[in-house]
Chains A and B, each alone.
Chain A
Amino acid sequence: MKIHPASDVDRSAELAEDVEIGPFCRIGPGVHLGPGCRLLARVSITGPVRAGRDNLFYPNVAIGGPPQDLQPASPDGRIEIGDGNVFREGVTVHRPKRPGGVTRIGSRNRFHCFSHVGHDSTVGNGVVLATYAVLGGHTVVQDGAWIEGLGGTHQFVTVGRNSLSHSHVPLTEDVPPFMRVDGNHFQVLGVNPRCRTEALERAYATVWKSGLPRPEALAILENDPSPEVRELAAFLRRSAAGRFGRAGEAGRGV
């Protein structure tokens, strides 16, 4: 374990053998860092935070601050982080507000400079938040989704698997999986070029181009042989059931 003498590490923090901590870091009580984690410099981690293996923290990252919310942080909330994530300069991750809540980050995600994970949010695996992309509270980001620079989610939004949200787009509704959203106002503009298939192109045309009423379009999708198209249909049904096109609204307390 290499801890720079200019850093302040609480005695109760649990650090794996080969953790590296550069200068001017502050590690509070209740922090657990798995093997291979590296904190380059000036990183602040305030517990309770549990991070797995091989996470890389660049300067000025702050993990574990209280939620940016008028209500206080939950006294028993915590942050859980998987393996192999990269947190670039100035990234912030906030503690939950819900009692017993968890702000959860999976594995192999890349958080670019100044991106933000709000309280009670859940980030899956292989997600990219580009520079200044921000997640409002209670956001769910499914595996492989990308949010480009300066994009942001409303609270309680679900960002679907392998979706692509272009820069500056305010994500006020759930982002359908495998799709690409863009526009001054939220608009689904096509299939994400990274996962373009004939079946998904067909599904996109059925839902967003055909002019069919949404229930009829979804009925067609649900009988499609492609599992991805059926996943898209189930996602859209859940979003429609929530308020304002956000499935997560169903779990909203107040």
Chain B
Amino acid sequence: MKSLAIVVREDGYDKLLTPLAFAYLQGAEGTQVDLLFVNWAVRALTEEGAKGQVIQGEHADQDGWVRQQVEKAGLPPDIYDVIQALKATDNVNFYACSLASSIFGVNEDNLIPEASGIVGASWFLNEKAAKAEHCQYF
């Protein structure tokens, strides 16, 4: 696979793990991976938001156990550390949706340096998602 586009809309520690793991797999293999964070998930592209990700809802009481399992699996247990590991592959780009950024309080001041910027959804859908070999939505 040469390129993969991923749209991430669900936040929460556990819900972010799968798209990030898929991006890590493909980025490590040399695939160009572009992720657009929309809705609440855009806050994961701020340092506070990334570090503050927790498991919500019915599995909330298992947050600590899941983090231990993640660490045991070899991944950094902190979402921000995972984002940094993905960025280190040099093949993964993180984008914040401009609408989501506006609604959920993300701007150029609090956007993490690992993110490539705040972009319009139209640009991402046409230039990244439509041109990617494969596109996924989480």
Q: Do A and B come from one complex?
A: no
Binding site for A on B (CB under 8 A): none
